Amino acid sequence: MATWASPEGGSPSSPRSAADVKVAAVTADDSIPRNLATPERIGFIGLGIMGSRMAANLAAAGFPLTVWNRTTERAERWVERHGGTVATDPAQVASRSDVVITMVVDGAQVESVLLGEGGAAEGAHDGLLCVDMSTIGPTAARRIGERLAKRGVPFLDAPVTGSSPKAEDGTLTIMAGGDERDFVRARPLLEVMGELIVHAGPLGHGQMVKLINNTVAAANAAVLAQALLLGRATGVDLESLVRVMSAGAAGSVMLDLKARAMLEHDFEALFKLEHMLKDLRLCLGEAEAVGVGMPLVEQVAGVLQEAVDQGLGERDFAALLEVLEQRAGTRL
């Protein structure tokens, strides 16, 4: 069940289908210039590990989708399975959509697909809303939002947390930054993809909350890896160690998600290590800009960078264990 939170408060609500959107739109703001007799037309740009699953949930809920991916074959395969249409470029996505959602790798890609040649801004029309669900950092989000605003296009940053299984079953946590009116309009779509939906504040605040969250997760994973290695080196039964940690103050989502993967060296990518490193670098940049030191995070980023240098960037970020194993001279 999706839960919506905002600074003004709110109550849990059930996941919505496309048929519900016209009701939500009328109660939110009946001045939105679009045809409320039909569901919002959704454009989805970026069909990678996360985006393909998020878009599939929107399609299953009954939203008409137009999709685009840098690799056309991937978009065509997605449409064969889930329906919808494939656009020739992001501009065509925008021209056929009421809301354009982007889920790509970084700020440069978001800027390219929205504002570059053939970008969504070239297909913009009255009533178009752009919602970026990538993790690009608050500085990039504000810059892109300002450029879109000059073209009359509102922009919401709405990054997600949760790996591919949560993207698949629609239980992501989504933290949005932007104007309240844009958030209310996008909320029914976000509720299809997420379980906890939070309006974090003005544009860029969704991104900042996401970066801080991922920074804590990465540091937690690194400490977990070190704990398991210490347990191995001292002869502790690791299964017992994990059971005790899970039951007490050392318990965490990272322990639940990554302990087994580390023990079995199963690093199939649920969230790529190189993407986690990108998020930490963005967080460190924002921290430096406001004069907040994060030495522990710098150490974790160093471990992740070493893992990338060793060719582990495409693996799950739990693969940071391999760097720590090398440093400790032992293996789980």
Question: Tens digit of pLDDT for each residue in 219-267?
Answer: 999 999 999 999 999 999 999 999 999 999 999 999 999 999 999 999 9
Q: What pLDDT is stored for residue 1 in this prediction?
A: 39
Q: What is residue 276's three-state secondary structure?
A: helix
Element (H, E) at 221: helix 205-233
pLDDT in tens, 161-203: 988 899 999 999 999 999 999 999 999 999 999 999 999 999 9
Q: Does the annotation count 258 as an active-site position?
A: no
Q: Contact, 209 vs 223, CB < 8 A?
A: no
Its pTM stands at 0.85
Question: In terms of Cα–Cα distance, which of 207, 148, 151 is closest to 176?
Answer: 207
> How far apart are alpha carbons 222 and 200 in whole angstroms?
27
Q: What is residue 4's three-state secondary structure?
A: strand
Residue-range domain boundaries for the chain: 3-202, 209-328
> How far apart are alpha carbons 307 and 158 in whole angstroms?
29
DSSP letter (8 states) at residue 131? E
User: Across residues 144-154, what is the average pLDDT?
Assistant: 98
Q: What pLDDT is stored for residue 27 in this prediction?
A: 36
> How far apart are alpha carbons 166 and 195 in whole angstroms?
9
Which CATH architecture describes the domain 209-328?
Answer: Orthogonal Bundle (1.10)
**Residue whose structure tokens are 């199939």:** 268
Residue 279: which region, alpha, beta or left (left: phi > 0; alpha: psi -120 to 50)? alpha
User: Across residues 47-58, what is the average pLDDT?
Assistant: 97
> How far apart are alpha carbons 151 and 287 in whole angstroms?
31
Size of the chain in residues: 332
Fold of 3-202: Rossmann fold (3.40.50)
> How far apart are alpha carbons 255 and 221 in whole angstroms?
8
Taking all residues of the chain, what is their mean pLDDT, rounded to a whole number? 91
Q: Which two tokens stand for residue 284?
A: 């460190």
Q: Contact, 271 vs 166, CB < 8 A?
A: no
> How far apart are alpha carbons 261 and 323 in whole angstroms?
15
**Is residue 43 predicted with pLDDT exceeding 60?**
yes
**Is residue 42 predicted with pLDDT exceeding 80?**
yes
Q: What pLDDT is stored for residue 20 in this prediction?
A: 53
Please tell me which residue in 150, 166, 210, 272 is annotated as part of the active site. 210
User: Across residues 51-62, what is the average pLDDT?
Assistant: 97
Q: Contact, 197 vs 2, CB < 8 A?
A: yes
- Residue 149 has a CB neighbour count (10 Å cut-off) of 12
User: Across residues 62-68, what is the average pLDDT?
Assistant: 97
Q: What pLDDT is stored for residue 30 in this prediction?
A: 38
**Burial (Cβ within 10 Å: 0-12, 13-18, ≥19) of residue 32:** middle
Q: Contact, 94 vs 120, CB < 8 A?
A: yes
pLDDT in tens, 111-142: 999 999 999 999 999 999 999 999 999 999 99
